[in-house]
Amino acid sequence: MMMLHRSLVIFFLFISFLTLSSLALPLCSDSSDSLERNSTLSFCPYKGKTCCDTKEDSNLNKQFQSMNISDKACASVVKSILCSRCDPFSSELFRDHSDQLSVPILCSNTSSANSTKDFCSETWETCQAGAPVNTNASKLADLWQSKTDFCSAFASSNETICFSGEPVTLNDTTPDKPPPGLCLEKIGNGSYLNMVPHPDGSNRAFFSTQPGVVFLAGLPDHDSGGVLDVDPSSPFVDLTDEVHFDTSFGMMGMAFHPKFAQNGRFFASFNCDKSKWPGCTGRCSCNSDVNCDPSKITPDSGSQPCQFQTVIAEYSANGTSSDPSKAKNAKPTEVRRIFTMGLPFTSHHAGQILFGPSDGYLYFMMGDGGGGADPYNFSQNKKSLLGKIMRVDVDNIPSASDISKRGLWGNYSIPKDNPFREDKELEPEIWAVGLRNPWRCSFDSSRPSYFMCADVGQDTYEEVDLITKGGNYGWRVFEGPELFQPESSPGGNTSAESINTIFPVMGYNHSEVDSSGKSASITGGYFYRSETDPCIDGMYLYADLYGNGVWAGIETPSNSGNFVSHRITFSCASDSPMKCDDSPGTSGLSLGYIFSFGEDNNKDIYLLTSNGVYRVVRPSRCNLTCSKENSTVARRNPGPSVSPSSSSSYYMHMNGFHGILVSLSLILLALLV
């Protein structure tokens, strides 16, 4: 038997067994989005979406030539495997749950439906008898005794994405039907902007208000007739002394460290007023680095430029309990200031924060700073953090003396794999650019590579973006899929040809929801992963702030990154624990303003509205027909219930508190538009 060149053996040397994750999405192996090419690459047979540019294509050609494989059949196989780096699905082909692989997952005869041939067997049978120039090389048979052993190391037997020697394609399956409707129950009064499930896995969640108060609430079991178990007279933490609360300002986000149950660390994102609070001190986002002169900016409210700031601060629950999971409150004293930045105008602050489920880093969503049509083009300015999504490390914070390693805007470090860490033209904190006002983002709990953000539009279009590493989402060059023409542009313009715009995967025109074409502002949601309503399983739910509609986005084909959206009806369960608010003169349900969505540890979805807190429940409670529903299945309970207060306490305090919160929440109207 002829022996194979040593470099080819090393090329195939890998661990004895691979498991491909199911996080399929057209992404490159570095988690960036693929590029659109009009012509086929010179060496690798890829056209259209590809992860290679001409330089990478040339490098692969040089690598192939250096292997000097004389057997033509084997050379063809090896070339295709080398070129799989250019596949738009290379992220999945070359990555298991924890490692970056050196060889793609090869399709076997028992693998997924996208495989048209047993490519792993073909590779073994073709290349085990290759004819290399270097006859001192080892044979594949020296490393694997049989084809079975070889394919146990390189093949996938149960995943949707594997390499068959040709560019990956997905079967064009018939999309799921739109759900018959959304059945909701009302379980709480009050108006909240944020909901975060307790990191200990229990059936509790934190709810925060725009003025800066955080409550810890017990969540009722399904079909129990229960309501939120929360005592508004005893908040988890009250940050109102630090938070500047006004029409467009307040506490915009909160995040609990993934190891909160052990370390008690949590974080708040809010706005402050430096004229009222000494702790509100940060660098102005309008500065010489971004070619912006603060003296020439006139904020809409008549305030001074950067009088208002956006802040991320760290707090701790350790001082109130020896076990953070049992803590019912925390001290409102900052442990550490993570980030502070002055705001040029008085709107478009975004401000949501959340930890990445796979990497443990803190993601921070920032709007373009306001001013109408982003006049200074901050979203495309490479040195500005406005109109961006940032990603920072809050676990490895440099010491005060090590200034060179600290972030420019606060106490954090830059993850080594941030896309612009080594790019001197862009700020290293940046994960994605070109956003206007991202209002509510989420990671899919089943597929963390799906990072979805809703971005509020200007005049015509509301969009949902699938966020990828280093992606540019177009604003202010584009609004949704259309070119945008600003009336004035003292900060200059960016040409459409100079950026690789990633267009929205879902969205809606203003004219679809409001006859005036004005009252529209998107609120991002979640992929539905609960067992409660199987007819919306896997669909992405989002809504309009003004209650103009709720949509379900269906991915088709599955794992393709392509979505079809359907506007769906919603109604209130007849046995809702609390009376729902009916629309005047109709039989429909009025939710008021839909500020945010929430997700608990059981993956049930909540709507946080000006009329209260609603939860998605099984369709039959609204007399909706869902053939997949089995109402006899017991509702799951994710963990022991730890009640922060009694239900009677809830009713006693909440009825009086409700009117105050609703009146406060209504002013959020101007926050997003």
Both structure tokens of 283 = 């660098």
Q: Is 670 helix (H, G, I), strand (E, B) or coil?
A: helix
- What is the domain count for the chain? 2
pLDDT of residue 114: 47
Asked if residue 659 is part of any domain, the answer here is no
Same domain, 315 and 464: yes
pTM of the complete model: 0.83
Confirm whether 321 is domain-assigned.
Answer: yes
Half-sphere exposure of 535 (CA within 13 A, CB side): 21
Q: Is 73 exposed, middle or buried (0-12, 13-18, 19+ CB in 10 A)?
A: middle
Q: Which amino acid is located at 262 in the chain?
A: Q
Q: Are residues 135 and 281 part of one domain? A: no
Tell whether 356 and 255 lie within a shared domain: yes
Are 401 and 503 contained in the same domain?
Answer: yes
CA separation for the pair 630, 615 (Å, rounded): 19
Determine, yes or no, domain membership for 581.
no
Task: Please indicate, yes or no, if residue 205 is contained in any of the structural domains.
Answer: no
Q: Is residue 413 part of a domain?
A: yes
Residue 226 lies in a domain: no
Statement to judge: residues 273 and 368 lie in one domain: yes
Picking from 562, 501, 546, 532, the residue whose alpha carbon sits closest to that of residue 36 is 501
- Tell me the residue range of the domain where 277 lies: 242-436+457-518
In a domain, 308, yes or no: yes
The pLDDT, as a whole number, for residue 559 is: 81
Say what the pLDDT of residue 101 is: 75
Do 137 and 257 belong together in one domain? Answer: no
The whole-number pLDDT of residue 72 equals 87
DSSP-assigned states of every residue in 107-159: E-TTS-TT--S-HHHHHHHHHTT--BS-TTPPPHHHH-SSHHHHHHHHEESS-
Last residue of a domain, one of 483, 500, 518: 518
Residues 129 and 249 in one domain: no
**What are φ and ψ of residue 541, in 5° steps?**
-100, 135
Same domain? For 150 and 289 the reply is no
Residue ending a domain, choose from 125, 156, 187: 156
Among 98, 133, 156, the domain boundary falls at 156
* Contact between 334 and 313 (Cβ < 8 Å): yes
Residues 275 and 139 in one domain: no
Give every residue of the chain whose pLDDT is below 70, as ranges. Answer: 1-25, 96-100, 110-116, 129-142, 156-160, 171-175, 401-406, 517-518, 582-588, 630-673
Q: Are residues 151 and 291 in the same domain?
A: no
CB neighbours of residue 54 within 10 Å: 12
Place of tokens 């290293």: 428
In a domain, 96, yes or no: yes
Tell me the DSSP string of 173-230. Answer: PPPPPPPS-EEEEEEE-S--SEEEE-TT-SSEEEEE-TTSEEEEEEPPPTTS----B-
